[in-house]
Amino acid sequence: MLAWLRDLLGNSPAVELAKELGCDMHSHFIPGIDDGAETLEQSLEMIRAMQALGYRKLITTPHIMSDFYRNTPEIIRGGLAKLREAIQQEGIPIEVEAAAEYYCDHAFEKMIGTHEILTFSGKKVLMELSYMNPSDNFDTVTFKLQTEGYTPVLAHPERYPYWYHNIEQYANIREKGVLLQVNIGSIAGYYGTGAKRIAERLIERNLVDLLGSDAHKMGHIALIEKVSKERALHQLLDSGRLINQSL
Ligand SMILES: [Fe+2]
């Protein structure tokens, strides 16, 4: 076991955090189908670490992005079945489900109402936007999802720099019924000061519904230790707004 993880065991703040969240709903643990785990061994190492921290359930969310990751429900289900078999063989006591992280492109827009959409905890759909430019179809996609009875969940809203100048944008999105999922690493400063500052402002404004690891590699899981010392994180946990535990 890695030294940092061994040090964490016991009643460290990171263990307290993982136990309090219970469920992590954003990660890339299915090997070889996106930019997350490359091998089954890497997947198992990460899942073992998440279980050791105290998570009881993982909803893993491979990318679906028409230009780069042409994953389908069949590919993701196939990967999940193999992963679950390995988890069982290894005797890791944790529940693992799969949904997807949909990129808000035109291919996704066309899928809504015509193809199966992978959801979690009822009809929640995780989607992400470009880091570079505002999406021209975000409002349309949100509306279409809601019309079909889905609840959109926006992944890492604090990582879209084109919204940084307008915090009200986030309140408007939340008001429209889109749940907001902040990355644990953002609060820890891993994605830069801009993302950290916006994550803190979203917390101050009570706009955060979910916390996710967005773990692609072991280094992202190590951030759970780093973040557990952040004041903003405790403010968020104390707010009682997070719904991770109910997933
Ligand atoms: Fe992700």
pLDDT digits (tens, 9 = 90+) for 71-102: 999 999 999 999 999 999 999 999 999 999 99
**Beta-strand relationship, 57-60 and 179-183:** unpaired
Residue 7: the pLDDT is 59
CA of 244 to the centre of ligand 1 (A): 16
Number of folded domains in the chain? 1
What's the predicted TM-score (pTM) here? 0.94
CA of 215 to the centre of ligand 1 (A): 7
pLDDT digits (tens, 9 = 90+) for 135-155: 999 999 999 999 999 999 999
CA of 171 to the centre of ligand 1 (A): 22
Residue 4: the pLDDT is 60
Residue 30: the pLDDT is 98
Residue 5: the pLDDT is 61
CA of 176 to the centre of ligand 1 (A): 23
CA of 121 to the centre of ligand 1 (A): 18
Query: Per-block average pLDDT, block size 10, for the chain (247 residues)?
Result: 57 82 97 97 97 96 92 97 98 97 96 96 97 94 98 98 94 97 96 97 97 96 88 92 95
CA of 25 to the centre of ligand 1 (A): 10
Domain that includes residue 46, residue range? 3-246
CA of 85 to the centre of ligand 1 (A): 23
Give the CATH number for residue 134: 3.20.20.140
Amino acid at 235: Q
CA of 218 to the centre of ligand 1 (A): 14
Q: How many CB atoms lie within 10 A of CB 60?
A: 28
The residue to which tokens 């780093």 are assigned:
226
- 114 exposure class (CB count in 10 Å sphere: 0-12, 13-18, 19+): exposed
| Residue closest to 73 by CA, chosen among 44, 47, 40, 102 | 102
CA of 210 to the centre of ligand 1 (A): 13
Phi, psi of 194 (to 5 degrees): -60, -50
